[in-house]
Chain A
């Protein structure tokens, strides 16, 4: 298998509701896929399936390589300064501080290193989550609404980070209810599956 991520005929049931079934997708190095569609069509569930956090009711999920995930939870300790909170995940991912430096520069968060996570705005939190994804060095990015609350400049940085990741042979699965200016982006309309 040359793909980094492959979902084969998966079905997802949440509660007693069938969100989707017989869904297949594959992401090779350098590819990106936009999951689009209105709220409640299973974009987040599909991301969690791909991440291995949910079990598929049917079908198989294969990953080759590590995953980095953004979801609605920030997973940074609110009482810590931003840099120390990010350094925890750098140690968990066994990457060095330079990776965090570069990622913070890419998301323009370096000036906020000493600000407690609890004081960050919504957009800044999303940028901080993006720093963790970039610094992790994982080849598979699973981004669930990464641009929520981001201003235009931050969205530009997000798009640039995605492009750089794909140029390095990474793959991106992106769930978003609005369009991002990512070039050469495949689409999967979750709303049309229901």
Chain B
């Protein structure tokens, strides 16, 4: 338990070190600010399209730090040292998913409110967005760690990383944005099921990828 807390704390410290805590927030607000300029100041259009834009930005914010999730630990020998201590790769992956979920999820939830305001979302839609993104954060973290582990051994891997997880992230986008549709009553349950599935797969798939890095 001490061991796992030490790992979690280290990942959080490294994620938030040097002010990187605000990176997803800034990114999010950047998208929310740029979108009305690109689409034009048509409030009804912004209201309709803005919710989906928030979801796309959330996905990209999750993938923003994938270079930093696994590769530095591999290059520094930290993963080898943990493996020598008999700590299962799945456990290391699970801790990394939890740490990433906290490290980017918390600032993301805060940034959601100003971003939604910039995109002309009313209170009811903000509530739906916040619920949906909170449900999806574990799955987004899981996908980010998975792609980080899969690409840690490749040169220039982070560019491929985004492409790798995109197909897996599509259901999250469909059901998450679907919650905003007045007719999409079942979407929240489907989003929950998808998020649960991806979160469960993550530690095992990423753990396998970590094991592969040693060969």
User: Which residues of A are at the interface with B, using a C-beta cutoff of 8 A?
Assistant: 51-55, 66-69, 71-79, 88-89, 91-94, 142
Contacts and interface: CB of A to CB of B under 8 A. Distances in A.
Given A74-B77, A94-B2, A53 B83 contact: yes
12 contacts: A52-B86, A66-B86, A67-B84, A69-B81, A73-B76, A73-B77, A73-B80, A88-B10, A91-B2, A92-B3, A92-B85, A142-B84
Q: B-side binding surface: helix, strand, loop or mixed? A: helix
Contacts of B7: 92
Interface of B: 2-3, 5-7, 10, 14, 17, 75-78, 80-87, 214-215
Given A54-B214, A88-B10, A91-B6, A75 B76 contact: yes
A182 to B, nearest CB: 22
A173 B86 CA distance: 19
Contacts of A91: 2-3, 5-6
A68 B83 CA distance: 11
Given A54-B214, A74-B77, A75-B77, A69 B84 contact: yes
Contacts of A74: 76-77
A99 B173 CA distance: 50
Contact of A73 (B2, B75, B82, B87): B75
A69 B80 contact: yes
Given A54-B214, A77-B14, A92 B80 contact: no
